[in-house]
Structures are given as structure tokens and as C-alpha cells.
Amino acid sequence: MTTHATPDADVIVVGAGPGGSAAAHHLAARGLDVLLLEKTRFPREKVCGDGLTPRAVAQLLKMGVDTSEAAGWIRNRGLRVVADDIAIELDWPALDHFPDYGLTRTRYDFDQLLADKAVEAGAKLLTGAKVTAPLFDLAGRVCGVTAVRDGETLTYRAPLVIAADGVSGRLALSLGLKRDEKRPMGVAVRQYYKSAAKHDDQYLESWLSLRTAAEPDVLQPGYGWIFGLGDGRVNAGLGVLNSSEGYGKTDYRALLRDWLANTPEEWGLADEANADGPVRGAALPMGFNRTPHYSRGLMLVGDSGGMVNPFNGEGIAYAIEAGEVAAAVVAEALRSPSVPRREAVLRTYADRMDDLWGSYYRMGGIFTHLIGKPAVMKLCTEHGLKRPALMRVVLKLLANLTDRPGRDAADRIVNGMRFVTPTLGRRL
């Protein structure tokens, strides 16, 4: 193999998932020279629930993404929460900073849409480029990466690298940034099913009580979802948190099949003949379980920095938001007149992320610890779902959808909880 030097970019972004593409888009829109490296080639499969809350939609609109039905998106009105024989439908709240609708779209082409937006803004995208290691300068600071593309080992250099390389966090690990085992972690599996009855559902559906026909009296670990895709299919899946006794001990694929076998026959999810593709699984790195988010020329965005919401397992919105914040910090840093000043600005990224979600994620850590206990989950579902006013507060909390200052009591309650959580979280 030979090593080739390539022209320098201002920033290298590793990974063209939602976070990486968003970062590349916002950087390029600011006039910076951006190189976006993606190990796979589009389109590609990606394990995901395929459901987007209004928080994610707001970020897509900022990037100029056409979210109309004509462009292949399916809108939803809110969340339907199901627990045994109780179900409640909660519409997305009307807020100043977020739209009042969510979306579904498979990740098969979703990531490519965002990568295309980055390219439209001026970023250079190289697919099939598997980054293998960071490059270091004499001071031990990251100054580029090596990658293998079409059998060649290539060298790409830039004064800053953004790692949006997913849950593996290989670049972060090369700097000794390991995952905090005390922070929330989850695992999710999903499968597509043909379902004429559920594919055009106006609500994302979340199941808080998973039961099987073989053990109907036993509350199984985790939570489930059924999201209509509008094309004759649904995305059906389940997630289990590491706070649950069943984490790491459960056959998640078998549990998914057994749970769906217990759903109404007319939905078509109990019949494996309606399955469209295999069951796929992925890890969910939650609650900032890898920090610091900036170190020695490397900035973490999305799953590489453990940015999945512990309350609901949502990762796309937070990855895209982090990409936007990272771009703003990098653009300011690269305008700095000196290297020390540039580094000082880059270090503010970690503080900005903590200011943005730190208290909320610490509260989420407490939440995941509690709902990992079957008795607590049973108590919450039996009593909480019967109180619509309470559930509207819960929806705002779980989806992180509030106005500041709050326009109503629910906003004030959730924002107040965030305000007091940092002290509470440290004590626990």
C-alpha cells in the first residue's frame, strides 16, 4: 500500500450520519473547506426506529430539507402510549420553536438526504472511505486521519477533526476517551413488517408494557414501538436499558417476535410471512456516556459522544443539534488570531453541550434507573396513563419539547425540574 497526502481541509468530519452531515452542512455554509468521510456507500441500511419528533424536524427545516409528503415523508400528530388495556393519544405540543408534527422515514435514504445537503452547501463527500486512525502532530494533537479507500491507505490533514463515527467511538478511544459505564446505555432491535392496518397511523406508538403469550402475567424488560412508514410497512422494535435486570441476559430478537405475536391479528405483525427483512440491532449510547466532547483537536458529535436522549432513545435530533453547535464553535475558533486562543474557543464546546442538555440528561439518568425496576414501571403505567394532564407534562419531558420561558404550566414544571436537577444528579 502507498500513502498519499491530499490537500488540507479546514475541518475533517468522520461519518456522514445525521450528526456528521449536519456539522458538515453548517460548516460549509459558513464558508469553511470541509471534507466529509463516510465508510459505507449510499444508500445503506441503518438500525433505527425511523421516527422523528418535532425536535428533529426543526433541525431538518433549518437545513432546508423538504419535509413534505410529496418528498417521501410521512407526518404524525403525536405519540400514542400503550400499557396493557390502557392507551392515550398525546398530540405534539404547539410551541414557538418547534413544529407541531413529527415525521417518519427509513434510514435507507435519510442519511443520504442530509449528506446531499452538506454537499449542496459546499462540503466534499467521500464515501467508501473507512477511517482507521487519527494523525497526531508533535504536540500530540489530532491533525488529520488515515483512511482506506478502494484498497489504498490515504492521509487527510486538517487542523480539526469532528468524530461522528457512531457508537464504536474509535477515534475517541484512540485518545483514551472511554465510555462511562455508570451512564445509561441501551440496546434496540427492529424489524420491518407489512401492515395495511398500521402503516398510515397518525401517531407514533410506544408500548410501556411488553407481554408475551407464553408468559402473559410477566412484565418483560424494556419498551416497544410501532411506527407507520406510510408505504405499507411499519417499523416495529423494542429497546432495553442497562438499568434493567434483563439487559444483556435477554434474547432481544426472540422477545421482539414473542411480543409481536401477542398483538392483534389484523395488524399482521404476528405473522412472520409479513416480515420485510431481518431483525437488526444496535446499541444506544445515552446521557453523555463519553466525555469530554472536545480533546486535543478532536470533537465528538452524536453517538460517539453518547448523545442519545435517555428518556426516549431519540438520537437523530441530538446528533443534528450537536452538529450545528460544533459548527458554530469551530467557525469561531478558526477565526481566532492565535493557536492558544483557538484552543480556548474549542474547549467551550464541551461546556456548551453541558449547558444545552447536561441537566436534562442527568435527570434522564435518574429516570432510566427508576423505570428499570418492573414495580416502578407498573406503578407509573397503571396510575399515570389515567391522568391526561399529567401525561401531557410527561410527553414534554420525554421528548424535550418546551418553550422557555414556559407558555403554560407543563413548560414551567419541566423547566423547573431541569433547573434543580444538576444538584440532585450530583448527589445521587
According to CATH, the superfamily of the domain at 11-75+102-180+289-364 is FAD/NAD(P)-binding domain (3.50.50.60)
From the list 303, 314, 312, 425, the residue with the least C-alpha distance to 371 is: 312
Per the CB < 8 A criterion, the answer to whether 307 and 322 are in contact is yes
351 CB-contact burial (10 Å; exposed 0-12 / middle 13-18 / buried 19+): middle
Whole-structure pTM value: 0.92
Domain ranges of the chain: 11-75+102-180+289-364
Phi, psi of 372 (to 5 degrees): -70, -10
**Sequential pLDDT tens for the chain (428 residues):** 334 445 579 999 999 999 999 999 999 999 999 999 999 999 998 999 999 999 999 999 999 999 999 999 999 999 999 988 889 999 999 998 999 999 999 999 999 999 999 999 999 999 999 999 999 999 999 999 999 999 999 999 999 999 999 999 999 999 999 999 989 999 999 999 999 999 999 999 999 888 888 888 888 888 999 999 999 999 999 999 988 888 888 899 999 999 999 999 999 999 999 999 999 999 999 999 999 999 999 999 999 999 999 999 999 999 999 999 999 999 999 999 898 999 999 999 999 999 999 999 999 988 888 777 666 676 777 766 777 787 888 888 889 998 766 566 666 666 676 666 654 344 33
SS3 118: helix
CA distances in angstroms from 344 to 152, 158, 222, listed in the order given: 36, 18, 42
CA-to-CA distance for 68 and 75, rounded, in angstroms? 8
